Structure 1
Amino acid sequence: MSEPGGTIEVRVERMAPEGQGLARAEGSGRVVFVPCAAPGDRLRVVVESVQKGYALARAEEVLEPGPDRVEPSCPLHAAAGRSGRETCGGCGWQHLSLAGQLAAKRSIVEDCLRRIGRIQDVPVEETLPSPRPTRYRNKVLVPFGRAAGRPVAGFYAPGSHRIADFQDCLVQPELSVRVVLEVKRLCGELGWEPYDVSSHSGWLRHLFVRTSEEGRALAALVTLDPSFPKRDQFVAALRAAVPEVCGVLRNIQPHRTSVVLGREWEPVWGETELEERVGSLRLRAGPEAFLQVNTPASEALYGLVSEMLFGDGWRPALAVDLYCGVGSIALWLASRADEVLGIEENRRAVEDARRNAALNGVQNARFAAGRVETALGTLRAALGPTAAGTACVVLDPPRAGCSIPVLKALRDPALARLAYVSCNPATFARDASRLAKSGWKLARLKPVDMFPQTSHVEIAALFLRG
């Protein structure tokens, strides 16, 4: 294996869970991880670091493309041969065909089940494609900075805090792009100083944009301090240029941190929430509340969860939604259960969930605020009077997955079915193994392409009592 800085030729075998290509050096069994690679590629790569058992490298030239390699549509994509400030660290799989992306995501899930969960006997279904492979994201956070004496806004170049200034982003709706470009223009016109990471100075750190399928937008500036120079002038100019903006907010993040959002939000003008339609559901949420970023794909995901749980006509006396957010899945399932309970730690999201229930005329759903780990008493109290085998639970945890106390609580005999929605195949595989030890059998698993053009994949899985 070459030392760092050396050049070698590799053949890519498959995509790794972190999104790189897993390759092997020609004439050697050493594993080499290469970003922006495709299965079947033969590449000339530059070794960047050598670790015990593997190396990290950067693709310099595609010597022989694999069958799923395509030319990236975005000029900022960090493809082989592109480097420096002009490359963007987002959309890491834009060089793969859509069919190749779907197959790779399925393969990643299978690998995690075998390697981490030690689960061999569950056939992973084909990945459910996103209804919209581009322009699908309903939320974006864009960092601001300064380059060549002017404001820039875009995403970070790979492995850096250099901003790849964009004029378009193919995974964002055109409305979001228009808002970003107008705020960037106004930043320069109004004399605002963009944030500088190295010196922790400057005023405008990020721009948050949330859009709806109906073509409305919320815009929020993330600033270093509470000042707001030329506030009224900014609002008037943004409204005039992008009339679809229905509300402007501001978030203050004073700390030197990689955490984008601070705790303090304040309204500036107009609405503070945006209504989204997911199927027949109307969902209202503030900027900090969690909603799936791909609305059409989330409708497909919720329909899949419902079909897994209730496709045979079974109706539970109680359906529990843990980590329920603004109530999306709970309200989607409410018509299929006698009673629904949602638990969520974000109190503002719980308020949103209760209002969303009223907005949709759902009367059999209730929501409790608290971390799931500390609200297990609420869960046990709900399951206590429920007859054995007449309840189900939906888990939709953050990327870290579920804690052991939560998984142990799911041993309750009232629970007959469990649906697990995950955005992290590794922690899902770990939790699936733990659930198996508690008497749950993984019956179905289907990846969902919630994030086209990236390596991220959503999972919907059904567990039944063993």
Structure 2
Amino acid sequence: MLLIDGTLVPGPHHVEAPCRHFPTCGGCQLQHVDDESYAEFLAQRITGALTQQKLEMPEVLPALLSPPATRRRASLRAEKQGKRVLIGFNEGESHRIVDMRMCSILDPRLFALVEPLRKLLGPMIKDRRAAGIRMTIVDQGVDLLLEKVEVEGFAAVEALNDFARDHALARLAIDDGYGPEPRWEPEGATVTLGGVAVGFPAAGFLQATPEGEAALLAEVQRIVGDAPLVADLFSGLGTFALPLSARAKVLAVEGARDAVLGLKAAADRAQRIMMVEHRDLFRRPLDIKEVDRFDAIVLDPPRAGAKEQMPALAASTRVQRIAYVSCNPSTFARDARMLVQGGWTLKSVLPVGQFRWSTHCELVAEFTR
């Protein structure tokens, strides 16, 4: 509230931002609000999208927020300015890098690499040029991918090896424009999903926080229940397919080749009753006959949603439950309207805040016949 004398009085849900880079850094936009308001904001993003599609409001479950300092994957930018190497997220709506000196969202194991990376990257980035840094925590440690860096000569190669060894990296890979090339990987990098270790591709996809993954999985398992035959569409490495396969027969469908190979090998090793299919669901969605083989459907599409798959799901006569995981309330609401028009009921929605203090919202929705 702004008083008549110009004094600004914080509102009842205002809190002091924990990070000194807020609000300049574009990594967080909402550090100034308390958890109650942030949870309400996430719920309103979903209900607002549903209202735009003229859908009846389902039960909106209490939002689950990941704690601070738990983000296990991040994409940072690095830039050389004279003798300095700046590393961090971009400013909001800008290409300027906020030189990261603290971070309230990253897992400490990721943030611990920021300062050493400044020294490593100095000789590998040309002045006023930018590079990319992608970090993910896997079973063996940190998987590090460096993009647009120049590794020339024996000294540069030795520097990479020393860095990887000194910081006990799970893998260090370089992408010079032709795809990731591992330079250090003492043993195959894996992530454990549903008790099964799955080979992790360089810069592969993993849910942003362990708490977020657990919340999404628990809700998916509740919705699927005891369904004996389940299809997991856009399955990725098997975040949902592998846990579900412990008690059901599962078809996992994914368009990314590396993820398919990793999931298939992991399922075979664990002797899970699972079929893994490499298929682009945007170009070749499951048809009605294929959909009607299953009792429940799980889908976790990218931000574009799953519009091409909706007609077959909407027309299904056998499927009784759908667990729709989404990272984009707008495309989710569009797809939900197609299901509701086909006779489905949107029963509940669970907001999940994995990207704490950002405007990014994830959800799990329950559809029933």
Q: CA deviation at 1:359?
A: 4.2
**Structure 1 counterpart of 2:329, which letter?**
P
In structure 2, the partner of 1:327 is 238
In structure 1, the partner of 2:221 is 306
In structure 2, the partner of 1:248 is 172
**Structure 2 counterpart of 1:370, which letter?**
R
Partner secondary structure for residue 463 of structure 1 = strand
Partner secondary structure for residue 231 of structure 2 = strand
Q: CA deviation at 1:205?
A: 1.0
- CA distance in 1: counterparts of 2:127 and 2:71, whole angstroms: 25
Give 1 or 2: higher helix fraction. Answer: 2
Which residue of 63, 81, 86 maps to 2:8?
63
Unaligned runs of 5+ in 2: none
Alignment of 1:60-99 (within 5 A): 63-78=8-23, 87-99=24-36
Partner secondary structure for residue 426 of structure 1 = helix
Which residue of 174, 192, 211 maps to 1:277?
192
- CA distance in 2: counterparts of 1:217 and 1:269, whole angstroms: 12
Partner secondary structure for residue 125 of structure 2 = coil
Which residue of 321, 343, 348 maps to 1:439?
343
In structure 1, the partner of 2:284 is 375
**Structure 1 counterpart of 2:247, which letter?**
R
Partner secondary structure for residue 151 of structure 1 = strand
**Structure 2 counterpart of 1:153, which letter?**
I
**Residue 315 (structure 1) aligned with residue 235 (structure 2):** no
Alignment of 1:327-366 (within 5 A): 327-337=238-248, 339-362=249-272, 364-366=273-275
Structure 1 window deviating more from structure 2 (146-155 vs 100-109): it is 146-155
Q: Report if aligned partners of 2:125, 2:149 keep a CA contact under 8 Å in 1.
A: no
Distance 1:246 1:300, change over 3 A: same
- CA distance in 2: counterparts of 1:335 and 1:275, whole angstroms: 19
In structure 2, the partner of 1:18 is none
Partner secondary structure for residue 98 of structure 2 = strand
Distance 1:289 1:43, change over 3 A: farther
Q: CA deviation at 1:271?
A: 4.5
In structure 2, the partner of 1:408 is 311
Structure 1 window deviating more from structure 2 (232-241 vs 393-402): it is 232-241
Q: CA deviation at 1:334?
A: 1.3
Q: CA deviation at 1:111?
A: 1.7
Q: CA deviation at 1:397?
A: 0.7
**Residue 176 (structure 1) aligned with residue 88 (structure 2):** no
Q: CA deviation at 1:374?
A: 2.9
Q: CA deviation at 1:407?
A: 0.3
| CA deviation profile, 1:112-146 (whole Å, cap 9, x unmatched) | 211x221234231211232xx11211111211112
In structure 2, the partner of 1:124 is 60
Partner secondary structure for residue 91 of structure 1 = coil
- CA distance in 2: counterparts of 1:346 and 1:103, whole angstroms: 35
Unaligned runs of 5+ in 1: 1-40, 45-60, 79-86, 197-201, 254-262
TM-score (norm 1): 0.73
Q: CA deviation at 1:230?
A: 3.1
Q: Report if aligned partners of 2:145, 2:203 keep a CA contact under 8 Å in 1.
A: no
In structure 1, the partner of 2:45 is 108
Partner secondary structure for residue 286 of structure 1 = coil
- CA distance in 1: counterparts of 2:194 and 2:29, whole angstroms: 30
- CA distance in 2: counterparts of 1:336 and 1:278, whole angstroms: 15
**Structure 2 counterpart of 1:223, which letter?**
K
**Structure 2 counterpart of 1:336, which letter?**
R
Give 1 or 2: higher strand fraction. Answer: 1
- CA distance in 2: counterparts of 1:302 and 1:287, whole angstroms: 23
Distance 1:43 1:167, change over 3 A: farther
| CA deviation profile, 1:371-407 (whole Å, cap 9, x unmatched) | 1133335x556446x3xxx51111111111112x310
| CA deviation profile, 1:157-177 (whole Å, cap 9, x unmatched) | 122111111122221112111
**Structure 1 counterpart of 2:350, which letter?**
K
Q: CA deviation at 1:250?
A: 0.8
- CA distance in 1: counterparts of 2:271 and 2:246, whole angstroms: 11
Distance 1:117 1:42, change over 3 A: farther
Q: CA deviation at 1:66?
A: 1.9
**Structure 1 counterpart of 2:276, which letter?**
F
Q: Report if aligned partners of 1:395, 1:419 keep a CA contact under 8 Å in 2.
A: yes
Q: Report if aligned partners of 1:135, 1:172 keep a CA contact under 8 Å in 2.
A: yes
In structure 1, the partner of 2:360 is 456
Q: Report if aligned partners of 1:289, 1:325 keep a CA contact under 8 Å in 2.
A: no
Partner secondary structure for residue 266 of structure 2 = helix
Partner secondary structure for residue 8 of structure 2 = strand
Distance 1:227 1:236, change over 3 A: closer
